[in-house]
Structures are given as structure tokens and as C-alpha cells.
Chains A and B, each alone.
Chain A
Amino acid sequence: MVPITTLHYLVVAAALFVLGVIGVLTRRNVVIVLMSIELILNAVNLNLVAFSRLWGLHGQVFAIFVITDAAAEAAVGLGILIAFFRNKETVNVDEVDLLKW
């Protein structure tokens, strides 16, 4: 069997990244769009940790910072979502069109 190299991890991370992008671009439900953003961030984290096998621990430290950012982003995003739901009774992205001309 082929030994598992860094490239294998990068391919898995790229597949996960593309899945996340598809979710962000096509879904209507804001909650699922936020979850797709988490998928994208996780794909990046997998890349960082896979490269940290080659170039020391900096990648893992950066992955921890990315996880911190993901937590902050989820908290603020879901807060915005609750405020929006209270005003418009919907969580669909294509109904958030106040700024659309």
C-alpha cells in the first residue's frame, strides 16, 4: 500500500474546502452557511497541521489561533442571526436584501 504522505492530507483538506464553498454559495439557510464556513476553516486547519509535520510546530500554534477565530466568528454570526430572526421571522440568506438595489 502507498504510504500516507503530506499530499494525501492536502487532497482531503482541498475536498473539504470545496464542499464548504459549495455550501456557502448554494444553501439558503444561514445556519448551514455558517456551518459550511466552519468546514472551510477546518480544511485550512488540516493543511496547517499537515505542514507542521514538515516545518515544526508553528502550524499547530496557528491552527489554535484559527480555532479561536472560528469560535469568535460563530458567536457573533449567530448573535446577528438571532437579531435578524427577531425582526424578519426568517433565516434565509436571499431574503436579507435590504441593501440590494
Chain B
Amino acid sequence: MTPVATPFFFYMLSGLMIVGGLLVITRKNAVHSALALILTLLAQAGLYLMLYAPFVAGVQIILYAGGIMVLFLFVIMLVNLERMQKEKQFNKQWLVGLAAALALGAMFVAVYVKGRALFPEHVVQLPEGQNTQSIGLMLYGNYMFAFEIASLLLLVAIIGAVVMAKKRI
């Protein structure tokens, strides 16, 4: 099965992702930021589909765009303050922070320009339509210990969130 119009969809989805990311870090209203983040996450799910990772794309939509973002929106509504939108949005060290982040970006550029040969172009041909099955087998085979630890981590997170959000600690 040959992919159709791959470059167009790649550029469209990555453009949506970058625009969404820019909106997340520049909007005054936290709800607008959250909606822009949902746009980014959905575009990223599209990129996962282009990379032949349908299971990760589904998990991305269900867990991130469906679960975590609802949590974010609820908390935004719990702590919403009108005056917060009127005060300064950026902290005092924003110039230093911006410079540090841009230095990091320059480092990425240098690595990708110099190390272009390090990224090979061969592609593993996985059997079509067995992505979810293979991931399930790996999760319950090779990665069983990590899987159990992840479930323990989620249990700790549930208890921690409930304890932290209680009226009296």
C-alpha cells in the first residue's frame, strides 16, 4: 500500500502543531491555551497515523485529548480568576529564559545539520494491520515489569491527587 500525498499532509499537520504550540504559550486566557493544546494533540495524532502507529494515535486521542485535557479544563475552571488575565503574563526572567531556550534550539539545529548522516533512511517493513497486536504482545511480554510499575505509578498518582485536593491535608 503506497501512501498518498504524504508531503502535503505532513506539512499541514506539522504546521497545525507549531501554530497550536505557539498559541499555547502566548494566550492570556488559560482556556484558549487548553483549546490550542487540543489542536496540537490532534494534529500529532495525525502524524502518528502517518508514521504507521495507529495504536499510539488512538491512545493519544483518547488519553490526552479526551482525558488529560478535560482534567486541565476542570482545574482551569476551579482556579479561574478574572484579575489573572489583567496582570503580567510573563515573569521577570523571561528574557533569560527565551535566550536559554533559543540556545537549546540552536543546539538542535547544529546536531541535525552536522549529524544528518547519523539518521539512517532504511525503514522496517512491519506487517500491515498487526500494530496493535504486536504492541500488546510486547507490553505483556518484554515490558511486563515496566507495565506493572506503570500501573503502580498510576495508583500512586490517583492517591496523591485525591490527598492533595482534599480540604484538610
Which interface class (under 10, 10 to 19, 20 to 34, 35 or more) fits A? 35 or more
A34 touches B72 (CB 8 A): yes
Across the interface, name the chain B residue whose C-beta is closest to A72.
B157
The A contact surface, by secondary structure, is: helix
- Give B contacts to A, CB under 8 Å: 6-7, 10, 14, 17-18, 21-22, 24-25, 27, 30, 33-34, 37, 40-41, 44, 47-48, 50-53, 55-56, 59-60, 63-64, 67-68, 71-72, 75-76, 78-79, 81, 84, 87-94, 96-98, 100-102, 104-105, 108-109, 112, 116, 119-124, 126, 131, 134-135, 138-139, 143, 146, 150, 153-154, 156-158, 160-165, 167, 169
Distance of A77 Cα from B75 Cα, bound (Å)? 11
**Does A71 lie within 8 Å of B104, measured CB to CB?**
no
Of the candidates B21, B64, B167, the one whose C-beta lies within 8 Å of that of A67 is B64
State the Cβ distance, A79 to closest chain B Cβ, in Å. 3
Chain B, residue nearest A83 (CB):
B164
Q: Could you say which of A6, A22, A50, A54 contacts B98, with CB atoms under 8 Å apart?
A: A22
